[in-house]
Amino acid sequence: MASKRFSRIELLQHVFPELTTVELQALDAAAQEQTYAPGAILCRQGEIGRRLFIISEGEAEIFVNTDESQMVLVKNVGSTDYFGEMALINDAPRAATVRTISRCKTLEIDREAFVSTIDHNPALLRAIVRQISNHLRNNDRIIIRELRKKNQALNVAYNNLSSQEKLRTDFIATLSHELRTPLTSAQGFLHLINRGTMQGDAQKVALETVTRNVEKMVGLINNLLVLYEMHLTSPKYSDVSLETIVQEAIREARTMADARIIPIEFVQQDELPMLRGDRNGLLLAIRSLIENALKFNQDNGLVVVNLYLIDENTAGLDIIDQGIGIPPEAQKHIFEPFYRVEGSGPDRLFSGLGVGLAISKFIVEQHKGQIIVESMPGEGSTFTIRLPFSASG
Ligand code: ADP
């Protein structure tokens, strides 16, 4: 849509609505028209301005340099907008840089031409000074509003950064804690064995504890390696039985279940077809969920693993516990790497680095599946995996 063309007098009237026709004509005699190609700089921040610009056609953008490298766009201007009015009355440096976006036509008044016009017309000077100060006040308001908006955006970015930083320091605290505890214990036992203090059965028990601690540390490091390498390694797809994988995951979690005296009940409701999937990946994803269901359960609790058909193309697997549950506001974060509901404080109750769910989610999504959680604090959690039988590799 073609925009309206304004005459020179109309443009001047738009900028100086308080002037009489005679005053406008005097100003018109001092004005000249210019045409600029797209990308032309009309004025540059910091340079001393000696000219008022009124845009008659086209669009330009106003930038402010916040430092050497950053240009912040303040606003776009177009037909009848004007800038540089201070240049008519003093030698102030330009407060911004103005660059044309499209071909621009302007009406411009030089300081020299302006000064000789007002020499014959003092009322014109008074009117213009009044107007310019009003206009500057308005401009200040617009710029302050823009700065407020930018400030809010900066605050959001800063908060994001500090929560990432918190996650990072929490992770280091958690990792040191998770490694120091089994290492110190293993070191203590090995010391006693080396001094010959432990013999016979006692030595056997001590060595078993050392082995368990070393396995725990290897498990932690393996999980970290899986998290960092999972984007790099490609899964090995074959036809697998989900039922067999679930049973194996339960078997692998058995030691933990026995230690906590929590039974795992496996219910398979439907016969399932073979699934195209990465056996090791699925085993890891499911075992992590079962281990969490045991870890966050209550004493005398129960874990139910429920395998069923959602429809002919999709398997469903629920892992249900009666544990501490997950607060609603934490549910959207638990699949993020290193996120833990209880953080990393010294009085934390549960071990773990906060990587298990991130790994499970990645693997399930790699199989074009989904993982969701339903949970009530104090009542327990249900993690559900949906897996298509034939979507992968
Ligand atoms: P980790 O268990 O090693 O801390 P995860 O990534 O497996 O890490 O889990 C992240 C967090 O989600 C846990 O720290 C815990 O706060 C919460 N969570 C996961 N599973 C459960 C569950 N079954 N019951 C209660 N909270 C859970």
Residues of the chain with pLDDT under 70: 1-3, 67-69, 343-348, 392-393
Q: Given this model, what pLDDT does residue 392 score?
A: 66
Half-sphere exposure of 307 (CA within 13 A, CB side): 19
Rounded to the nearest whole angstrom, what is the distance from the C-alpha of residue 275 to the centroid of ligand 1? 27
For ligand 1, whether the C-beta of 293 sits within 6 Å is yes
Q: Residue with the nearest Cα to atom 8 of ligand 1?
A: 354
Cα 350 to middle of ligand 1, angstroms: 9
Residues with Cβ within 8 Å of residue 366, at least 6 apart in sequence: 235, 278, 281, 392
Place of tokens 């999504």: 365
* Ligand 1 centroid – CA 293 distance (Å): 9
Cα–Cα separations (whole angstroms), residue 338 to 175, 216, 315, 344, 366: 10, 18, 29, 10, 20
Q: 346 C-alpha to center of ligand 1: Å?
A: 17
pLDDT of residue 393: 63
Which atom of ligand 1 lies at the shortest distance from residue 293's CA?
A: 23
The identity of residue 84, as a single letter, is: G
Nearest alpha carbon, ligand 1 atom 25? 325
- Cβ 357 under 6 angstroms from ligand 1: yes
Residue 334 beta carbon below 6 angstroms from any ligand 1 atom: yes
> What CA–CA distance (Å, rounded) separates 135 from 128?
10
The rounded distance, in Å, linking the Cα atoms of 42 and 100 is 7
Tell whether ligand 1 has an atom less than 6 A from the beta carbon of residue 289: no
Q: Is 373 buried (19+), middle (13-18) or exposed (0-12) by CB count in 10 A?
A: middle
What stretches of the chain show up as alpha helix (H) in DSSP? 8-15, 21-30, 111-119, 122-194, 200-229, 242-252, 254-260, 279-295, 328-331, 356-366
* Atom from ligand 1 closest to the CA of residue 380: 24
Tokens standing for 181?
């505890």
Percent of the chain with pLDDT over 70: 96
pLDDT for res 101 = 96
CB atoms within 10 A of CB 192: 14
Residue 163 is predicted with a pLDDT of: 78
CA atoms within 13 A on the CB side of 334: 22
Tell whether ligand 1 has an atom less than 6 A from the beta carbon of residue 291.
Answer: no
The separation between the first and the last C-alpha atoms of the chain, rounded to the nearest angstrom, is: 52
What was the pLDDT predicted at 2?
52
Please return the burial class of 34, using the count of CB atoms within 10 Å of its CB with bins 0-12, 13-18 and 19+. middle
pLDDT of 1: 45
Q: Which amino acid is at 128?
A: I
Q: What is the pLDDT of residues 189-209, one digit of tens each?
A: 888 888 888 888 888 888 888
Is the model's pTM score more than 0.75?
Answer: no
Burial 341-358 (b: 16+ CB within 10 A, else e): beebeeeeeeebbbbbbb
